[in-house]
Amino acid sequence: MNRTVLGILVSGRGSNLQAILDAILAERLKAKIGVVISDNPDAPALKRVAGFDITTTVIERRKFADKRSFEKAIAAELQLHHVELVLLAGFMRILGGEFISQFPGRIMNIHPALLPAFPGLDAQAQAVKYGVKVSGCTIHFVDEGVDTGPIILQEAVPVLDGDDEHALAERILHVEHKLYPRAVGLFCEGRLRIEGRKVIISEKR
């Protein structure tokens, strides 16, 4: 069985990395993790794949003269492992156009809000402060903007009167862990097609 090779970029705890790994182990995803790359040597995410025969690599920004050479090193590592789909799973850096152009329509990100509402950092706090009654999460393809790429999947969660950003973040996280593997599965099945700003999801063959 052909499995789509994933490259996962992380900076922190890696709970969405864990959700992807769990889906693969449960045979819900026709995929394999080719490499996990972190810009943070202390990222707890790296420990999540220990013992699974998955290559992990640390590529620190401070060791490179500029952003371009840093991203070039990441791209080289992804290509070395024949990565077909790049997943940003709590990767806390904005990727440049040159990097993105090497993986057209093959970089996904997850964002804890219903885009285009509340892009960028601290989306949950933005939602609570604004007073919305509904928030959620979005899986989208990455373009050169900040959380502006074509949307693949979204799911809403309620914002309760007593919520702070932490309570809302936890509620959204439960949905993230279901939605991200689902989006990856659609890619692996060849069911996603980008038409302008829209992502068309075809019926299962």
61 DSSP assignment:
G
Specify the amino acid at residue 4: T
| Short-list 142, 60, 58, CA closest to 99 | 142
Residue 1's pLDDT is: 63
State the DSSP string of 145-165.
SSS-SPEEEEEEEEPPTT--H
Question: For residue range 149-177, what is the model confidence (pLDDT) as tens digits?
Answer: 999 999 999 999 999 999 999 999 999 99
Question: For residue range 171-196, what is the model confidence (pLDDT) as tens digits?
Answer: 999 999 999 999 999 999 999 999 99
CB atoms within 10 A of CB 179: 22
CATH number of 109-205: 3.40.50.170
CB atoms within 10 A of CB 18: 15
Dist. CA 150–CA 193, nearest whole Å: 10
Residues in the chain, overall count: 205
State the DSSP string of 82-106.
T-SEEEESS--SPPPHHHHHTSTT-
Give the residue ranges of the chain where pLDDT is below 70: 1
CB 10 within 8 A of CB 37: yes
Q: Where are the domains of the chain?
A: 1-103, 109-205
Distance of CA 92 to the CA centre of its chain: 11
Q: Do domains 1-103 and 109-205 have the same CATH topology?
A: yes
Q: Is 81 a catalytic residue?
A: no
Can you give the pTM of this predicted structure? 0.96
Kindly state which CATH superfamily the domain 1-103 is placed in: Formyl transferase, N-terminal domain (3.40.50.170)
Residue found under tokens 């689902």: 182
From the list 111, 166, 174, 177, the catalytic residue is 111
Distance of CA 59 to the CA centre of its chain: 18
133 DSSP assignment:
S
